[in-house]
Structure formats: C-alpha cells, structure tokens
Amino acid sequence: MRSVPKRAKGNSRAVISPAAKRLTCALVIHAGTETKICNKDFLRPEHLNRHMLTVHGEHKEWICKLPGCQRCFSRADNLSDHYWTHLDKGDGRGRNVKWSLEELKSLLPPDEVGACIRLGKRLHQYRALARNSDRRRGRKSRSR
C-alpha cells in the first residue's frame, strides 16, 4: 500500500467578489399618479433592513410628490420639512428645485392640501421674521 501524497493542483479558483452581489429594494412606491419600484441598492442585508424600517416602515410611505424628486421619508413632519426646502422663499438659498407656493399647490395632489396650508403659514412667519430683522439692522428691504 502506497499512500499518494495529495498535492494542490495549480488551478486557482475564481473568487466571486462580494461587491458584485447587490441587494435591491423592490418595494413599490406610489408617487402621485405613477407607481415605481424603489430600486435602491445595498451591499449588506442589515442596510436593506434598516432602509425597509426607516423608509418604508409599517407606516404610510412619505414620498415627495414633486416632479423630478423621489425622496422618501419615514415621517410626515420630515416630508413637510422637505417640502419647505422646495419652496421659493425669495432668498435663493438651498439646493433643491424651487417653486412658489402657488406652483407647489398646483403640483401637489389634493391629499397634500394640509402640507400646503402649513407651508403657507410657515412662509408668512418666515417673511415677517425676515422683515423684522431687516428693520432692526436699519436696512431698507430689497433696495436695488
């Protein structure tokens, strides 16, 4: 009986890199009249799970219903804060696409009427504050 020593053969195995595996969120999002698949990619299952909980949750989905924007939020107040960043406040600040309050009212579906009313109130306060602070600094508002 001769024992043949086992030798590793020279062929190397191809290693599948873990980065090639991607997890995709396949949840359907309702944005206005369209429905879309979320399609967000994640590398780790725990990231997908967290996304499911924070973004989709067991609650209603809060998705920006403005054209060209698909940001989603876990809470209604986060979404109304987000709408605020879309509102043109006349100061040219912020990165998001801006619309006037009237345009937002016409772009948003009827179930967002509450959000529009809150935006209107907030804009009123914002402008009043801006006027007051201008006056305190002794500036004339918007002199060209």
Q: Which is nearer to Zn ion, 29 or 130 (CB)?
A: 29
Question: Site for Zn ion (CB under 5 A): how many residues?
Answer: 8
Nearest to 54 by CA among 25, 81, 30: 25
Rounded least distance, CB 51 to Zn ion, Å: 5
Q: Which is nearer to Zn ion, 17 or 33 (CB)?
A: 33
Torsion of CA 30, 31, 34, 35, to 10 degrees: -30
Do residues 87 and 101 touch, judged by C-beta distance below 8 A? yes
Rounded least distance, CB 111 to Zn ion, Å: 16
| Separation CA 39–CA 132 (nearest Å) | 46
Q: Kindly give, in sequence order, each residue whose CB lies less than 8 Å from that of residue 134, ignoring residues fewer than 6 positions away.
A: 140, 141
**Among 38, 79, 115, 119, contact with Zn ion (rule: CB under 5 A):** 38
**Interface with Zn ion in residues 55-114 (CB under 5 A):** 64, 66, 69, 71
23 binds Zn ion (CB under 5 A): no
Rounded least distance, CB 88 to Zn ion, Å: 13
The region of 4-12, 24-32, 107-115, 118-126 touching Zn ion under the rule CB under 5 A is: 24-32
Give the distance, in angstroms, between the CA of residue 14 and the centroid of all CA atoms in the same chain. 39
Phi, psi of 32 (to 5 degrees): 65, -120
**Which residues contribute to the site for Zn ion (CB under 5 A)?**
25, 27, 38, 40, 64, 66, 69, 71
